[in-house]
Amino acid sequence: MIATVENAHKRLGRVQALRGVSLDVREGELLALLGPNGAGKTTLVSLLVGLRAPDRGAVRLDGRDPRLPSARRILGVTPQATGFPPTLRVREVVELVRAHYPEPLPADELLERFGLGGLAARNVQALSGGQARRLAVALAFAGRPRLAVLDEPTTGLDVESRRALWREIERFKQGGGTVLLTTHYLEEAEALADRVVVLNRGRVVSEGSPEAIKRRVGLKRVRFRAAQTPELEGVERSEREGDLLTLWTADADALVRRLVESGAAFHDLEVRPVSLEEAFLAVLDGEAKA
Ligand SMILES: Nc1ncnc2c1ncn2[C@@H]1O[C@H](COP(=O)(O)OP(=O)(O)OP(=O)(O)O)[C@@H](O)[C@H]1O
C-alpha cells in the first residue's frame, strides 16, 4: 500500500469536511476520487499530501506521516488552484520544481510531453488557462514521483489537451507509477481508473472498479423514439428530449416486453449498460433518498 487513510475526520471552520473516511492507494493503480462539489475530495487529498493533519484517524504515505518532508519525497502534486510565482518564465518554474528532487525528468522532455515545448520562454502570467493547467500537471511529474496526486488535472482543458494528458498519465502508470486523481469528468474516471472511490458529504459511499460500481447500481438504459410516453412499470427514472425517450430500469428485458405489449409505436430501440456517470448519479440519488 503506497498510501492509507484510516477513519479520518476533519473539520474546517464550521464544516465537518470528512466524517470517518478510510482509503487505500495501492502501488501501481490509478485511483479516481469522485464526488459532488463540497464532498471532501480536496480535503482528503490535503491530508494525503501532508498539507493538513486529520482531527482523528491516521494517514500514512509509504508507511510514514505525510507531514514529514522526507515522506513527501515520493509525491508529485498538481495543485487545484494554480498560482505560479508571477515573474517567472515557464522553464524557470520547471527548474524550480526539478531542483527539489534527486532524479528529475530533463526539463525539455517534461515540456515536450505536456505540450509546452514552444512556451518555455513565456512568462507564466502570459499563459492561457489551459496552458497554465498543463504546466501545473507537468510539475507533478517533474520529480519522477512514485505517487502522482492530480487534483482535477484536466479542468479547463480542450478535448485534444485532455486526451494528450490521459496518454501521459497512462505512460506514467505503465512505468510503474501510482496515480490518485480527482475529477468531475466521469468519462475520465471511466477511461483511466482501475478503481473509483465516491465521496459524498465527507463519507465514502461507493468503492470499486468502474465495472463493479456500474454492476452494483444494477441499472440498464433503454432508449427509443416515440411520440407518446407509454406508462410502463419498473422504470426508475426517465428523460425525454424531443421524441427521444431514455428510461433507466433494473430489468431491461421485462421493460422491453412491456413496451411491446403496450402496443405503443416506437422505433430505434437501444438497450445498454449504464455509463459510470449514470451509475454515479444513481449512487448519489440513492444517498439523497436514504
Ligand atoms: N478553509 C475552509 N474553511 C471552511 N470550510 C471549508 C474550507 N475548505 C473547504 N471547506 C468546506 O469543506 C467541505 C469539503 O470541501 P472540499 O474542498 O474538500 O470539497 P471537494 O469535494 O473538493 O469539492 P469540489 O468538487 O467543489 O472541489 C465543503 O463544504 C467546503 O465548503
Residue 105 Cα to ligand 1 midpoint, Å, equals 33
Q: Which of 163, 196, 214 is the last residue of a domain?
A: 214
In a domain, 130, yes or no: yes
CA–centroid distance, 4 to ligand 1, in Å, is: 21
Does 290 score more than 80 pLDDT?
no
Q: Is the pLDDT of residue 273 over 70?
A: yes
CB 46 near ligand 1, within 6 Å? no
Whether residue 233 lies inside any domain: the answer is: yes
Do 62 and 194 reside in the same domain of the chain? yes
Residues 19 and 162 in one domain: yes
Tell me which of 10, 23, 41, 200 to substitute to probe ligand 1's pocket, judged by most ligand atoms within 8 Å of the beta carbon: 41
Q: Is 13 in the pocket of ligand 1 (CB under 6 A)?
A: yes
Atom of ligand 1 nearest to the CA of 46: 18
What would the pLDDT profile of 182-208 be if each residue is shown by its tens digit?
Answer: 998 888 999 999 999 999 999 999 999
192 with 225, same domain?
no
- pLDDT more than 70, % of the chain: 99
pLDDT at 82: 58
Tens of pLDDT, residue by residue over 214-268, are 888 888 999 999 998 888 999 988 999 999 999 999 899 999 999 999 999 999 9
Residue 79's pLDDT is 62
Asked if residue 267 and residue 176 are part of one domain, the reply reads no
Percent of the chain with pLDDT over 90: 71
Mean pLDDT confidence for 270-288: 86
Mention every residue, 6+ apart, whose C-beta is less than 8 A from residue 262: 230, 231, 232
pLDDT tens for each residue of 13-42:
999 999 999 999 999 999 999 999 999 999
Torsion of CA 69, 140, 189, 17, to 10 degrees: 40
Q: Is 202 in the pocket of ligand 1 (CB under 6 A)?
A: no
183 lines ligand 1 (CB under 6 A): no
Question: Would 58 be classed as within a structural domain?
Answer: yes
Q: Are residues 76 and 125 in the same domain?
A: yes
Sign of CA dihedral 269, 274, 280, 286: positive
140 and 224 housed in the same domain: no
Task: Report the separation in Å between the CA atom of 7 and the middle of ligand 1, taken as the mean of its atom positions.
Answer: 18
In the predicted structure, residue 274 carries a pLDDT above the cut 70: yes
In a shared domain, residues 185 and 246: no
The DSSP letter of residue 104 is P
Domain membership of residue 27 (yes or no) is yes
DSSP per-residue letters across 234-280: TEEEEEEETTEEEEEES-HHHHHHHHHHTT---EEEEEEEPPHHHHH
Do 80 and 104 reside in the same domain of the chain? yes
- pLDDT band at residue 287, thresholds of 50, 70 and 90? confident
**For 107-157, what is each residue's pLDDT tens digit?**
999 999 999 999 999 999 899 888 998 999 999 999 999 999 998 898 888
Secondary structure E strands in the chain = 3-12, 15-25, 30-34, 56-61, 75-78, 147-151, 178-182, 195-200, 203-208, 220-225, 235-241, 244-249, 267-273
* pLDDT score of 137: 92
Q: 70 with 175, same domain?
A: yes
- Position 81 pLDDT exceeds 60: no
Same domain, 23 and 154: yes
Q: Rounded to the nearest whole angstrom, what is the distance from the C-alpha of residue 69 to the centroid of ligand 1?
A: 25
CATH of residue 38: 3.40.50.300
* Domain range enclosing 71: 3-214
Mean pLDDT of the chain: 92
How many Å lie between the centroid of ligand 1 and the Cα of residue 37?
A: 8
Output 213 or 56, whichever has higher pLDDT. Answer: 56
What's the angle, vertex CA 110, arms to CA 64 and CA 150, rounded to 5? 45
The residue whose C-alpha atom lies closest to atom 6 belonging to ligand 1 is 12
**Cell 497512462 sits at which residue?**
170
Domain contains 45: yes
Residue 169 lies in a domain: yes
pLDDT, residue 289, reads: 75
pLDDT of residue 78 exceeding 90: no
What is the per-residue pLDDT for 284?
86
The string of DSSP letters for 177-211 reads -EEEEE-S-HHHHHHH-SEEEEEETTEEEEEE-HH
15 in ligand 1 pocket by Cβ < 6 Å? yes
Both 61 and 80 in a single domain? yes
81 CB near ligand 1 (under 6 Å): no
Residue 289 falls inside a structural domain: no
Residues 39 and 99 in one domain: yes
Average pLDDT over residues 167-185: 94
CA-to-CA distance for 172 and 154, rounded, in angstroms?
A: 16
Closest by CA to 33, choosing from 153, 120, 141, 139, is 153
> What is the domain count for the chain?
2
Residue at 148 is within a domain = yes
Domain endpoint, select from 214, 233, 259: 214
The model's pLDDT over 92-103, given as tens digits with 9 standing for 90+, comes to 999 999 998 889
Using the mean position of ligand 1's atoms as its centre, give its distance from the Cα of residue 195 in Å. Answer: 23
Q: Is the pTM of this model over 0.90?
A: no
